[in-house]
Every structure is written in C-alpha cells, then in structure tokens.
Structure 1
C-alpha cells in the first residue's frame, strides 16, 4: 500500500464548507447516540448544502422527521414528512412517521389514512396494522364516547378512563419509536460490518512485507500488515456483537409493542363492556 496522504489540516478561513455527506454522517452518529437535537442540526446543515441531490435530501429529511418524533416535536415531524412525500409519494418511512406524528397530535383520521397507505405498500409493517386497529377503535366510539355493548347505548368515558387510555396510547407510540430506532441502528451496524469485511478482503490480497498504514485520529501511522489485519478482525467481531445486541433489543421491543397494543385494546374492550 502506498504512503497515505498527509493528515488533513484545520479548515482555513474562507475554506470550502463541509460536504453534505459529512453533515449526514455526523447526523447519523448523533442519532445512533440518541442525541436527537444534535442530529436535527446536522441533518439541517446537510440539506442546506447547494450540491445535494433531491433523493439524498429526501432521505436526510426523513431521518430528521424520525429525530423530531423522538423529541416529540410532532408538528415539525409532520412538516418534514410532507417535504419527503411531496417528491416521494410512496416513501413508507415518511408515511409511517407522519402517521405517528398525526396520531400524537390528535388528528386521528389523517393518521389512519397514512397507516392504511403504509399497509397497502408494505403489508408486513405490523406497527401500521396496530395503528389502524387502535384508531379505528377510537373513531368507532366517537369523540368522548364508547359503545357499552354491540348495538347498545353509549356512555361518556370517565376522566380516569381517558387518562388511562392516553397513557397506554403514549406507551404504544413510545415503544414503536424505540423499535424503529433499534432497527435503524441494526441496519447501520450491518452496513458497517460489511464495509469492514470488504476492507479485510482487500487487505488479504496485499503481499506480505508491504508497507501499510492505519488511521489514528487525523493521522496515519505505519503499522505492520499483520496488525492491521488483526485490528480489522477485531472491528468485525465488535460489529457482530453490536448486531446481536440490536437483534436482542428488537426482539424485546417487538414483544413490548405487541403487549402495549394488547393492553390498549383490552382497556378499550373493558370500557365498551362496562
């Protein structure tokens, strides 16, 4: 491997600004660390770069919508999802995120329409199915009312019952959002692992005795080839562990999501039968 380029110097005054890719990467890193406000800032800087394409801009704005959901900034989440859907009408992530935000804002019918569209485009999205059941059940009872029994009279929901329903509904949304974060992180870890594996494959073709360098911060340090390979193997192993941890988290959250949805439906049915 030939000698690496010199370490990058600090940007000089008047230097070109960072690329949108750099801002996106920073945003992704903040998102993975659950620093959602910082992620929003980085994603915003990315989409404001003049050289970014429409498709990449839509992807980043969709990521920003998820961050705003996690921050419970539902109005802004809807705005971001709208921007994405204006250019990518079938973007399932944007539809689901808008549906979640609309439901949190109390715009049930609009949220229901989005959840149904998600199910039409991707029937396997179980969280959308849960959203449909949840909202249809609420709308069936009418604003502030539930059916006492099928075909029977209606009665007002008590204040205590309404508070319990709202708490359960918030739990459903919270778990769904945590599940989405875990899935996003798993996808990122899988991509990182694949990049490391490809690098390891390239390194395996380098003849023994070749001078190799390894990045240390902003510098490159000459490192024996065997050590570079060993370090890569360690990184691949670490990514595999991260993947397993994310898979375990996803399994747990999927169970928690089903439980939260079941608890909500049980509460609704209890009220109806009262």
Structure 2
C-alpha cells in the first residue's frame, strides 16, 4: 500500500517536473526572442539618430518600402525598444518563479528518495 502511494507520489513529482521544465524552456526562448527584438530596435535607433532630419527614410512593410519621416521611424523604434525591455523584465520574473518551483520539486523528489530508498531501485529497473 505504501509502495503504491510512493509510486504515485513519484509519478506526480515527475509529471510536475516535466511540465515546469517545459514552461521554463518556453520562457527562456521568449526571452531570447525579445532580447533580439530589443537589440535590433536599439541598433536601428543608433543608426537613425545621427542622420539629418531631412534624410529620406523608408519603412519596410512586407516587400514594400514606404517613405516615412525620420521622427516617425525613431518613435516606432523607441516604442519597440520600450516594449521589448518591459517584456524581458516580465519574462525574467516568470523565469525566476519557475526556477524556484523547479528547485522545490527537485527537493521534494530528493526527500521522497531519501525516505524510500527502495523506490530509487524500482525507478532504475523501470528505465532499463
């Protein structure tokens, strides 16, 4: 009876670990994408700022380039930069939260294995 309860607890911990690591990887990928967006907006702004105001600037829309005033393009890039920074900050807090949850689940698993050393042998025999 206790063996079945231990096995069920292990399966539950394993499922939550798989779920949390998947979410963590997803958040890390989103952070990487937003960092790329932020960097692209920053570099574009760095190239736009030294240009004279009367310079013809074009915005890419699909395969088409549309003439836009420099100030409009700068404003759009600044907004993209702010949005990306806010998204990265939000994702960072999510990442920290998920990392804490993963650590907690790992501790639960360690405790379970220390309480029931026999389950470790059963797990090893199941995986082979």
Question: What TM-score, normalized to structure 2?
Answer: 0.81
1:255 aligns with 2:103: no
Match of 2:31 among 179, 183, 186: 186
- RCO greater where, 1 or 2, for CA within 8 Å and sep 6 or more? 2
In structure 2, the residue matched to 1:200 is: 45
| Aligned-pair CA distance for 1:184 | 2.2
Counterparts of 1:243 and 1:252 in 2: how far apart (Å)? 14
In structure 2, the residue matched to 1:168 is: 13
1:267 aligns with 2:118: no
Counterparts of 1:166 and 1:256 in 2: how far apart (Å)? 17
Q: How does 1:1-274 map to 2 (within 5 A)?
A: 158-272=3-117
Corresponding residue SS for 1:158: helix
Deviates more, 1:206-215 or 1:222-231: 206-215
- Equivalent pairs counted in the alignment come to 118
Counterparts of 2:109 and 2:10 in 1: how far apart (Å)? 7
Corresponding residue SS for 1:220: strand
Give 5+ residue unaligned stretches, structure 1. 1-155
Counterparts of 1:196 and 1:231 in 2: how far apart (Å)? 9
What stretches of structure 1 move > 3 A for 4+ residues in a row? none
| Aligned-pair CA distance for 1:191 | 2.0
Root-mean-square deviation over aligned CA pairs: 2.1
Give 5+ residue unaligned stretches, structure 2. 118-128
Q: Deviation digits for residues 239-266 of structure 1, max 9, x if unmatched?
A: 0011101101110011010111112222
Counterparts of 2:11 and 2:63 in 1: how far apart (Å)? 50
Corresponding residue SS for 1:205: coil
